[in-house]
Structure 1
Amino acid sequence: MTEEVNNHFTLDQLRRFYSEELRIVAGLESPDLVSAFARVPRERYLGAPPWKFSSGTSVKHSSYRTTSSVCDVYHDVFVALESKKFLNNGQPSIIARLIAALKLSPGKRAFHCGCGTGYYTAIMAEVVGSRGSVVAAEIDSTLAEIAVTNLMDYDHVKVLNRDGADVDPVPCDAILINAGVTHPHPAWLDCLSEGGVLVLPLSVGRQLSVNDAMVLGITRRHNQFAAEILSIITIYSSPSMRDPILQSMLNDSFESHAMLRLKSVRKDDHDRTDTCIVHAPGFCLSAVTI
């Protein structure tokens, strides 16, 4: 598309400038990922204008500004999907970093839990290409219906109106969980291919629907799982993958900075030792290097 949207730039140019902004701000090293942000029409996934957007992290509704110019959504800003719930399209540089951690490439199979209206699913679909596949889950029926429509041109994308915890992602190479949880679902770990990556936001904040989360990158190495901290974000909580006891343990380990010792996720049965940061049956955040 070369439609001129103001006196200076076409939409193609705006999307290219936007992708270059994300390359620098998010530190993207994959040319395929940068190109995906330049190709996918973000405005298609935001609903009809006028749009409400913000570049800050304030949860106050007054932090939103309103625009009808498509130029304004091609910046590193989050755009409201439901402003009263503070439900947003996501800040591109933050989500771009998480997608980059998945190490996607053409032909890979991915699972996206909490896909919203499908924008970042489309980015992932562009990177894996038609030889790859993306399964996306969205629990909100309205958002899922919109995502189905938005993604209908991608034959290799399947959208499910389901709680992602109830979806068997089948063998895949990359999983992006877009909801705060207190533990990984066993199926998410089990389905990862060798070298596959699970990006997982662990809730470490208040007991509210919107929570602070520490995002882990978990990489399968044979039957073990190396882990590293990727980021701290604010995110909606999963309706099902929340355990109050684990939540308390996560909060304690985060506040004490014990989480900085994290090197791996263990799912084998073992006794608690001084290398266990958060220890529970079937799940342990560990300081043991894999």
Structure 2
Amino acid sequence: MTEPDEARRFYAKLMAAHAQSADPRIEEAFASVPREAFLGPGPWTVFAGKGRFETPRADPSYIYQNVLVVLDADKGINNGEPMLHAMWLGKVAPRPGETVTHIGAGTGYYTALLARLVEPGGSVTAFELEAGLAARAEANLARYANVDVVHGDAVTDPLPPSDVIYVNAGVVAPPAAWLKALQPGGRMIFPWRPSETVGVAVVVTRRENGFACQPFMGSWFIPCVGASVAGVAARIPTRERAARTRSIWLTADKAADRTATAIFGDVWFSSRAIRADSAR
């Protein structure tokens, strides 16, 4: 087998390529954070395609590939595909000094990458609802001085003002409080799962005149407790209408109009683009 450090450095190059970002710090982050430190003792159970396999032994080189690793088999919770997260990190572009909220931190691996990307001066608040996972994340992230792990419900608990909100659980719509927590120029990335047949990753940017929205790839995550069931009055989009979405609005600020692609209570989605403004 390849030495773990060598395997991780090569894996980091692959992840940086998938990120499609000019930021060299993405490769540095993947190279500096040992994935095995967040997975528990090996051998590990991994998913690839539709199969589940156990690594032959507890050699970290086996998990420096684009595989999901089981964290809680009974609840279907995994450490997600690194390639997907590389693309998300490239899209949301965390910067030094920024404040990040990570929703659905699991055992903290992707939290650690976010923490590296906002150094120096930045910080990460990591929410995890499952008590066992939150305890593991707190232990795993103890050496990251800029991370605060919260065992709590990000749907009902207040979020800190954030430059980046990184969501790792599927929602029918982002709660209004999440949108309000975004700082000017802030970005939120989340798995939009308005129905069982529609799953798309969306990046939202808070501009001076509204929330710009860009669906950019298919994406499936486990449902977010408290934000994964549509109300009876919801207007649920088809896959095509979801893909045409270009902005998100708070109903309190603007009533849904004929451009609406989806409506979920106090949040609605529109096919009308937000014009560019001076927000960074």
Instruction: Output the TM-score relative to the length of structure 2.
Output: 0.90
Output one character per residue of 1:222-273: Cα deviation in whole Å (capped at 9) or x when no partner. 14100000222221101111333379633xx224x12222110011444443
Q: CA deviation at 1:280?
A: 4.2
Contact map agreement 2:45 2:52 (CA 8 A) in 1:
no
**Match of residue 146, structure 1, among 133, 136, 143:** 136
* Matched residue, 1:220: 206
What is the 5 A alignment of 1:52-63?
A: 52-56=45-49, 58=50, 62-63=51-52
For 2:145 and 2:43, how far apart are their aligned partners in 1? 30
Deviations 1:162-196 (A, max 9, x none): 01112322211000111111111222111211111
C-alpha spacing 1:21/1:96, structure 2 compared with 1 (3 Å): same
Measured against aligned partners, the alpha-carbon deviations of 1:81-130 in whole angstroms (never above 9, x if no partner) come to: 12344321000011221222221111110000000000000000011014
Task: Determine if the alignment matches structure 1 residue 274 to structure 2 residue 258.
Answer: yes
Q: How does 1:167-178 map to 2 (within 5 A)?
A: 167-178=157-168
- Residues paired across the two proteins, number: 272
Please tell me whether residue 124 in structure 1 is matched to residue 110 in structure 2.
Answer: no
Q: Which residue of 2 aligns with 1:32?
A: 25
Greater helix content: 1
After TM superposition, the score normalised by the length of structure 1 is: 0.87
Give the distance between the partners of 2:30 and 2:99, measured in 1 at CA: 19
Change (3 A) 1:212 1:279: closer
Post-superposition Cα deviations, 1:123-182, rounded to whole Å, max 9, x if no partner, equal 000110141000000000000000000000011100011011123222110001111111
CA drift of 1:50 comes to 0.9
> Kindly, what percent of the aligned residue pairs are identical?
31
Summarize the Cα distance change of 1:117–1:44 in structure 2 as closer, same or farther, 3 Å threshold: same
Alignment match, 1:264: 247
CA distance in 1, matches of 2:106, 2:233: 25
Q: Which residue of 1 aligns with 2:64?
A: 74
Are 2:169 and 2:223, in contact at CA under 8 Å, matched by a contact in 1? yes
Which stretch shows the higher mean deviation, 9-18 or 264-273?
Answer: 264-273
Calculate the aligned-residue CA RMSD, in Å: 2.0
Instruction: Name the aligned partner's letter for residue 260 of structure 1.
Output: A
> In structure 2, do the counterparts of structure 1 residues 271 and 164 end up closer, same or farther at CA, with 3 Å as the change threshold?
closer
The secondary structure found in structure 1 opposite 2:145 is coil
- Mapped to 1, the partners of 2:178 and 2:26 lie a distance apart of 23
Task: Specify the code of the residue in structure 1 equivalent to 2:121.
Answer: R
Structure 2 distance, partners of 1:118, 1:181, is 20
Contact 2:193–2:220 (CA<8 Å) still a contact in 1? no
Cross-structure match for 2:278: none
How far apart are 1:214 and its partner, in Å? Answer: 1.6
Please list every run of 5 or more consecutive structure 2 residues that lacks an aligned counterpart in the other structure: 275-280
Structure 2 contact 76–222 (Cα < 8 Å) conserved: no
Letter of the 1:187 counterpart: A
Partner of 1:288 in structure 2?
A: 272
Structure 2 match to 1:192: 182
How much does 1:281 deviate?
4.0
Cα separation, 1, equivalents of 2:44 and 2:229: 36
CA distance 1:233–1:64, shift in 2 (3 Å): farther
CA deviation vs aligned residue, 1:24-44 (integer Å, no higher than 9, x gap): 234343211121000001000
Unaligned runs of 5+ in 1: 1-5
- C-alpha distance after superposition, 1:6-57 (max 9, x if no partner): 4xx433221110011112234343211121000001000011011011222x
